Amino acid sequence: MNVQVKKVYRNDYLNIISALFKKLGLPQLIDHLVPVDPQCQTRVSDAVQAIIYNLFDGRQALVHVERWAQEIDLEKLIRPGLHPSWLNDDALARHLDRLYEADIHKVISTCLIHIYRKEGLSLRAFHADTTDKTVYGAYESASLEALQITHGYNRHHRWQKQIGFGLVGNEDGIPFYGDVHDGNLPDKTWNPEVLSRVHEQLKQAKIEDEWIYVADSAAMTKDTLAQTKAANAFLITRGPSSLRIVKRAFAEADSAHIPWSDPFTLAERNGATYRVWETSSTYEGHPVRLIVVESSALDQRKGKTLEKERTKEAELLREEQAHWERHPFSCREDAEQALASLKASLRPRFHRVEAAVEEIVRPKKRRGRPKKGAEPEVETLYFLHLDVEFDQDAWEQARRKASRFVLVTTVPKEWKGQPMDAQEILKLYKGQISVEMNFAFLKDPFFTDEIYVKKPERVAVLGYLFLLALAIYRVFQRRVRQFITPEHPLKGPGGRKLTRPTGQAIFQLFQYVNVVLFKLPDGRIQRSLDRSLTPDQRRILQGLGLDESIYV
């Protein structure tokens, strides 16, 4: 019996992503939104899947996707009969153009709404934020309505050519809304605009219920507050320290009579404890709740700033000490005046300084040798003596104040039958990290390397496909985390226990899954895994409602 090995595919985790993409019904939805062109050998859904699977496999430029497609199990991942040569860069570029013409924002928005329905995800609260992505090259477009790839300052205040990403999603990081926008669009403009668009998406999903919009301090504007109300939503944001109502809240929080809450913790890794105190005010005619939060985990940047201030203050005080010890006064009156001036100018934050006039009687220096038997002349001089001591209480108080911030919210104290006290508002705000983790995905060179296309329209479409890939990644991660518990963790590299594994950690468990294609004597092709799946691999597949058939 002559059995030949026809091909070996390194399938690893791509088959899981492919199976999930299809179980969500996204290929059919995309082809419905952008109908199949009978003159094309490929469908738009083929191009979308190829680009997204290539992204998960370590993204390459479109010109290399055809060669990459020759090395993967294309018929299993996308559909039977699909040939790698059909996924050349010209064909992919044409599909990008068709997606743009079909309104790529609407296509991806419809896909995201579809995912939320399929997964039965909560629409109670959404977290919103923006980020930027550096791009290179010259981009030309005949349309003024196309994405404006412009120079702007990124989050690190560097001048660069960039595009912007905007995301609104739930606490699991699954986007409900996403956009690719001009590189210099400010957050203060983006927030009110996106509130209106999310409201439209909710109406499209036939949901007219109230919801909560959580965003960073750029959302604290008159326009955002007005648009939040118009969008049937409530706002939770961080109050900028420059606002008058925030300054007043900080000042009141220092009063001795303020009833701070007992310390409490949230489900966080750093185990930080919090105290909260709430007051109320109005801003631009809108009644708001102000929640002063004190955290035991000092913000890293603020901590460094305080350390620098303390070090600088100590150095200045040492210089003052050395200066006045070398600066004598001939009369006490002058020394007393200098002392008064010094006390008025010294305002140390982290040190206690005791300054006094010190009288010293010493032999008067004369030129030449003194006469034999002559009584030495003496002089009385006055010095300023500084005694500097580190003030531990002042230091702790400064750290405590630096660890405080103010949350501003329009959420009522009771909403949908649930108490929305200060602790619950803080818990919702801390979920903002889900959006920040998404930005790590969008900026990871493995997933979203440089964008090698020439037209801004195609840059925009690729950006939206990155957002769709992010949604798939987060759904995959959420599904796995639902059946992985601290009592029954996964076993990661080195025997490490994984209780809340990331998508990438799960990918690593499938890194060496290969499929071998055997050609049988009768010409039939038989698929087989090159080795048995491990218990953890089987557990993940079963938890996702899958089995070995996704490979063979």
pLDDT at 162: 78
Give the model's pLDDT for residue 525: 83
Average pLDDT over residues 461-477: 94
The answer to whether residue 322 is domain-embedded is: yes
Per the domain annotation, does 233 fall within a domain? no
- What are the CB-based long-range contacts (under 8 Å, 24+) for 316-322? 317/346, 317/348, 317/351, 317/353, 317/386, 317/388, 318/388, 320/346, 320/386, 321/386, 321/388
Three-state DSSP class for residue 8: strand
- 235 belongs to a structural domain: no
For residues 395 and 149, which has the higher predicted lDDT (pLDDT)?
395
Q: Where are the alpha helices (DSSP H) in 287-357?
A: 300-325, 332-345
According to the model, what pLDDT value does residue 211 have? 95
Q: What mean pLDDT value characterizes the chain?
A: 87
The pLDDT, as a whole number, for residue 446 is 67
Which band of pLDDT confidence, cut at 50, 70 and 90, is reported for residue 524? Answer: confident
Lowest mean pLDDT among 198-207, 318-327, 456-465: 198-207
Q: The tokens of 484 are what?
A: 């992985």
Average pLDDT of span 352-364? 87
Radius of gyration of the chain from Cα atoms? 33
Last residue of a domain, one of 379, 398, 417: 398
Is residue 97 situated within a structural domain? yes
Which pLDDT tens digit goes with each residue over 420-467? 999 999 999 998 888 888 888 887 776 666 666 678 888 889 989 999
Residue 67 has a pLDDT of 93
At residue 138, the pLDDT reads 61
Query: What's the rounded mean pLDDT across residues 208-223?
Result: 92
Domain boundary among 348, 373, 398: 398
For residues 307 and 309, give the distance between their C-alpha atoms in angstroms, rounded to a whole number: 5
* Whole-number pLDDT of residue 235: 97
Is residue 286 assigned to a domain?
no
Q: How far apart are CA 143 and CA 137, in angstroms?
A: 18
- The pLDDT of 179-192, averaged and rounded, is 86
Asked if the model's pLDDT at residue 484 lies above 80, the reply is yes
Please state, for a pLDDT cut of 90, what percent of the chain lies above it. Answer: 48
pLDDT tens digits for 53-101? 999 988 888 888 999 999 899 989 999 999 999 999 999 999 999 999 9
Domain boundary among 398, 430, 455: 398
Instruction: Please say if the pLDDT value at position 378 is more than 90.
Output: no
pTM attached to this predicted model: 0.82
Amino acid at 243: L
For residue 42, tell me if it sits in a domain.
yes
**Is 213 a member of any domain?**
no
For residue 136, pLDDT beyond 70? no
DSSP string, 469-493: HHHHHHHHHHHHHHH--SSS-EE-G
pLDDT band at residue 376 under the 50/70/90 scheme: confident
Bridge partner residues of 165 (DSSP): 131, 180
| DSSP per-residue letters across 364-377 | PP-SSPPPTTPPPP
Specify whether the CB–CB gap between 127 and 169 falls below 8 A.
yes
Predicted pLDDT of residue 400: 76
Q: What is the pLDDT of residue 40?
A: 84
Number of domains composing the chain: 2
Residue 171 CA to residue 168 CA, distance in Å, equals 10
Q: What is the pLDDT of residues 277-317, one digit of tens each?
A: 999 999 999 999 999 998 887 666 777 888 899 999 999 99
Higher pLDDT, 246 or 133: 246
Distance CA 394, CA 349 (A): 7
Instruction: For tokens 């200066």, name the residue.
Output: 323
Mean pLDDT of 518-528: 83
Query: At residue 126, does pLDDT exceed 70?
Result: yes
105 HSE (CA, 13 A, CB side): 17
List, for residues 231-286, the tens digit of each pLDDT value.
999 999 999 989 999 999 998 988 888 899 999 988 755 578 899 999 999 999 99
Residue 365 belongs to what domain range? 300-398
Q: Are strands 404-409 and 286-295 parallel, antiparallel or unpaired?
A: antiparallel
Residue 537, in any domain of the structure: yes
> What is the structure's pLDDT at 122?
87
Tell me which H or E stretch contains 206.
none
Q: How confident is residue 157, by pLDDT bands cut at 50, 70 and 90?
A: low
d(CA 314, CA 504): 47
Whether 475 and 23 have beta carbons less than 8 Å apart is answered as no
Give the integer Cα–Cα distance in Å for 468 and 448.
12
Q: What pLDDT shows up at residue 488? A: 87
Reported confidence tier of residue 108, pLDDT bands at 50, 70, 90: very high
Q: Which residue has the higher pLDDT, 161 or 88?
A: 88
Q: State the pLDDT confidence band at 192, using cuts at 50, 70 and 90.
A: very high
Q: Of 208 and 27, which is predicted with more confidence?
A: 27
